[in-house]
C-alpha cells in the first residue's frame, strides 16, 4: 500500500499565523475601510494616510491580536475539519462527498469563530485605534492586555460581543476555504493534467479564496461594525438595518481590499499547510 502524510492537528494554526504575518497590513486597511461611515477613501488612499499619520509600522498595529486570533480561531477550525475528515475518509476509503465537506467546514468554522471571538474583537479594536481621537484611544499594549482590560472594564459579555456574527462568518469562510479547497484540489487532480504539487495547491487555494470572500463579506462587514461599536447598535439585526440604510452595497464595503487580503491569505495558508504536511506530517497508509 502507498504511504502518505496527514496534517497534525495544530498545522492549520501555524500555517495561518505564517499567512497572517504576510497579509496583516491588508487586513488592517480592510478594517479601516469597513468602519468608515461614508465612502471617503479607497485602499491606496487609506494606506498612504496611515503611513503619513503614524508611520509605516502602523500597518502592523494589532499583529499580536491577529496571531492570537489565528491560534484560536484558525487552529480550532482546521483541527476539527482535518481531523474528522481524515478519520472519516479512512473508514470510507475515499474522499468525502462535497456536501459532507460543507457540513464539516460549517461545524468547524462555527466553533472556531466562537473560540476566536475575544482575540478577533481586540484585533479589530487595535487596528482601528489610530483613527480615534487621542482621548478615545484604548491603547492596548498587546492582545492579552486588550482581552484582560475588556474583561476587567467591560465584563465577560463584552469580550464575546459579536460572537454570533463571528461564528456565522467563521462557518461561511471555512466552507469557502477548506471545503472548496479540498474539492477544487480533488477536481484538479482528477483531470490528470497536474500532479499534487505547489502549482496545484496555488490554483486550488486561489479558487477557495475567491469563494470565501464572496460568501463571508456581508457577515464580515457586520461583525466589524459590531465589534468596533461603542453602544450604538442594539444587536445583529439592528446593525444590519442601520447598514442597509446606507444602501445594499454597504454590505460589500471594502470588498476589493477584502479579496486582496483574503485570497493571498488563503493561498499562503494552504501553501504553508501543504509544506508542513509534506515534511512534518504523520505517515499513514493510503
Whether the CB-CB separation of 281 and 8 falls below 8 Å is answered with yes
Whether the CB-CB separation of 276 and 5 falls below 8 Å is answered with no
Tell me the pLDDT tens digit for each residue of 3-20: 788 889 999 999 999 999
Question: 5 pairs with which residues across the strands?
Answer: 283
Which parts of 35-74 fold into alpha helices (H)?
43-54, 63-69
Domains of the chain, each with CATH number or no CATH: 3-285 (1.50.40.10)
Which parts of the chain fold into alpha helices (H)?
11-34, 43-54, 63-69, 75-92, 98-115, 117-128, 143-154, 156-159, 163-174, 180-190, 198-227, 236-244, 255-280
Alpha-carbon distance 219 to 252, whole Å?
Answer: 9
> How far is residue 81 from each of residues 74, 112, 248, measured CA to CA in Å?
11, 10, 33
> How far is residue 159 from each of residues 67, 122, 153, measured CA to CA in Å?
17, 9, 10
Q: What pTM was estimated for this model as a whole?
A: 0.81
* 3 state DSSP class of 197: coil
Tell me the pLDDT tens digit for each residue of 49-84: 888 888 888 888 878 888 998 999 999 999 999 999
Q: What is the pLDDT of residue 2?
A: 63
Tell me the pLDDT tens digit for each residue of 148-159: 999 999 888 888
Amino acid at each position: 500500500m502507498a504511504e502518505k502524510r496527514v496534517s497534525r492537528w495544530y498545522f492549520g494554526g501555524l500555517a495561518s499565523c505564517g499567512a497572517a504575518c504576510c497579509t496583516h497590513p491588508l487586513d488592517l486597511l480592510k478594517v479601516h475601510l469597513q468602519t468608515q461611515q461614508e465612502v471617503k477613501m479607497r485602499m491606496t488612499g487609506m494606506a498612504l494616510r496611515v503611513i503619513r499619520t503614524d508611520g509605516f509600522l502602523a500597518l502592523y498595529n494589532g499583529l499580536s491580536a491577529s496571531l492570537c486570533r489565528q491560534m484560536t480561531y484558525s487552529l480550532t477550525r482546521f483541527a476539527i475539519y482535518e481531523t474528522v475528515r481524515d478519520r472519516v475518509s479512512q473508514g470510507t476509503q475515499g474522499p468525502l462527498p462535497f456536501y459532507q465537506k460543507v457540513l464539516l467546514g460549517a461545524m468547524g468554522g462555527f466553533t472556531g469563530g466562537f473560540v476566536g471571538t475575544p482575540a478577533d474583537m481586540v484585533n479589530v479594536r487595535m487596528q482601528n485605534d489610530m483613527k480615534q481621537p487621542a482621548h478615545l484611544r484604548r491603547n492596548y499594549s498587546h492582545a492579552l492586555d486588550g482581552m484582560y482590560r475588556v474583561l476587567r472594564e467591560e465584563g465577560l459579555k463584552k469580550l464575546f460581543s459579536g460572537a454570533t456574527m463571528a461564528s456565522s462568518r467563521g462557518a461561511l469562510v471555512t466552507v469557502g476555504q477548506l471545503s472548496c479547497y479540498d474539492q477544487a484540489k480533488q477536481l484538479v487532480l482528477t483531470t490528470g493534467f497536474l500532479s499534487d504539487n505547489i502549482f496545484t495547491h496555488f490554483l486550488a487555494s486561489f479558487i477557495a479564496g475567491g469563494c470565501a470572500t464572496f460568501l463571508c463579506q456581508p457577515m464580515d462587514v457586520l461583525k466589524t461594525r459590531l465589534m468596533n461599536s461603542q453602544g450604538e447598535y442594539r444587536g445583529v439585526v439592528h446593525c444590519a438595518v442601520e447598514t442597509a440604510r446606507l444602501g445594499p452595497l454597504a454590505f460589500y464595503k471594502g470588498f476589493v481590499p477584502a479579496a486582496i487580503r483574503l485570497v493571498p491569505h488563503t493561498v499562503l495558508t494552504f501553501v504553508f499547510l501543504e509544506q508542513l504536511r509534506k515534511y512534518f506530517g504523520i505517515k499513514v497508509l493510503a
